[in-house]
Amino acid sequence: MRKYKNMNKLKLAVFASHSGSNLQAIIDNIKNGYLNAEIVAVISNNSNAYALERARLAKIDTFHISSKTHPNETDYLNAILNILDSKKVDLIILAGYMKPIPVEIINKYYNRILNIHPALLPKFGGSGMYGMNVHKAVIESKEKTSGATVHIVDEKYDNGKILYQESVNVDENDTPETLADKVLQIEHKIYSKVIKLISEGKITL
Ligand code: GRF
């Protein structure tokens, strides 16, 4: 079990494939002093991810690593491991990362990889449950609440220990798009909150 209390700043590696609004929220919360952490790397499998641009603007080291840049699986794995090792990463933060994390990384960083999911897991998780699919499924199931979940990443998709959840009402006139907006607002709050609680030793990994 790991308790980070009184440690130096947590070193974070953020993995993101697209817009990176969750990354931005973490960058902002470090800048405004809410979070005592440092993002030491942003890694994306998508060279066009706006997340990379956000990182560059914040002067964070960025890395594009994909099956295009590293067609050989071992090279791909080693490229990521080298970054994590050389930057002495404490926590891996998945923020809209669309590629599965190799099992070797899950094992090496066990309990130190976090993900955020735009629903109240274990509901609306698992295969195919990403992006707008999640919100469509929630609306179709006539759920009265949805929300966001921060959880540990293990070998199974959306399965690891739940660290934190916050819910939001699903109103009758909500569409998948309006629900996605509401959930995203919560995501931006709770991801930083969980990282803060970990850094203060109030969530033990
Ligand atoms: C979020 O909804 C998150 O829950 C999911 O992917 C989305 C990423 O959004 N895992 P962004 O790239 O952080 O804006």
pLDDT digits (tens, 9 = 90+) for 94-103: 999 999 999 9
pLDDT higher than threshold 80 for residue 183 = yes
Integer-rounded Cα radius of gyration of the chain: 17
Distances (CA, A) of 165 to 38, 53, 100: 24, 29, 22
**pLDDT of the residue at 109:** 97
pLDDT higher than threshold 60 for residue 6 = no
**73 φ/ψ angles, rounded to the nearest 5 degrees:** -60, -40
pLDDT higher than threshold 70 for residue 201 = yes
Average pLDDT over residues 129-144: 97
Contact 96 CB / ligand 1 (< 6 Å): yes
**Kindly report the CA angle at 89 between 107 and 194, in degrees rounded to 5?**
85
Average pLDDT over residues 121-138: 95
Exposed (0-12), middle (13-18) or buried (19+): which is 150, by Cβ within 10 Å?
buried
Mean pLDDT of the chain: 95
| Residue 94, H or E segment | strand 91-94
Q: Which atom of ligand 1 is nearest to the CA of 20?
A: 12
Integer Cα distance of 190 and 170 in angstroms = 19
The residue to mutate among 113, 120, 187, having the most atoms of ligand 1 within 8 angstroms of its beta carbon, is 187
Q: Which atom of ligand 1 is nearest to the CA of 187?
A: 4
**pLDDT of the residue at 157:** 85
Average pLDDT over residues 98-110: 96
Integer Cα distance of 152 and 94 in angstroms = 10
Looking at the annotation, which residues are catalytic?
A: 117
Residue type present at position 35: L
Q: Tell me the pLDDT band of 43, cut-offs 50, 70 and 90.
A: very high
